[in-house]
Amino acid sequence: MKTLKYSRQRECIKEMLITRKDHPTADDLYMDVKEIYSNISLGTIYRNLSLLVSLGEIRKLSCGEGADRFDGNLTPHNHFVCNKCGCVKDLRLPTFDEAIQQAEKYCEDSIQGHITYFYGTCRECKPNKSLND
């Protein structure tokens, strides 16, 4: 197996994802990393994100319409996706241990993880119920 060469740019991308909670797109990360590495290309961002996903160091979120988003938080958690603005937020819920056990029984395979998306309208996009509030 080939040894992976260290990359400061890749480490920067990974560190930015670990510290962020907003699940940025590749374009969002490009704008932020470009402030540190002004010569970086969008292609470099995409290649490094793809590599980090394949290494299991970050998670790619495909939430439906719009660009893929990325998450540096690898602990088991769910996501809320706003149907209006497309924001993605972490959603802390009780564990799905019983559902995972049922899934393993149904498919007779070993479940190693899951991704659950909840869709709705975020509080920033909800229409005001009353103008007097």
Q: For residue 108, what are its two tokens?
A: 């007779």
Strands (E), the chain: 59-61, 69-71, 78-82, 88-91, 117-120
Which of 22, 38, 72 lies at the terminal end of a domain, its last residue? 72
Helix axes 8-19, 26-34, angle to 10 degrees: 120
Structural domains in the chain (count): 2
Q: How far apart are the C-alpha atoms of 68 and 52, rounded to whole Å?
A: 14
- List, for residues 30-55, the tens digit of each pLDDT value: 999 999 999 999 999 999 999 999 99
Domain with 119 in it: 75-133
CATH number at residue 108: 3.30.1490.190
User: Could you tell me how many residues make up the chain?
Assistant: 133
At 3, which CATH number?
A: 1.10.10.10
| Mean pLDDT estimate for the chain | 88
What's the pLDDT tens digit per position in 68-80?
A: 999 999 988 889 9
Q: What is the DSSP letter of 87?
A: -
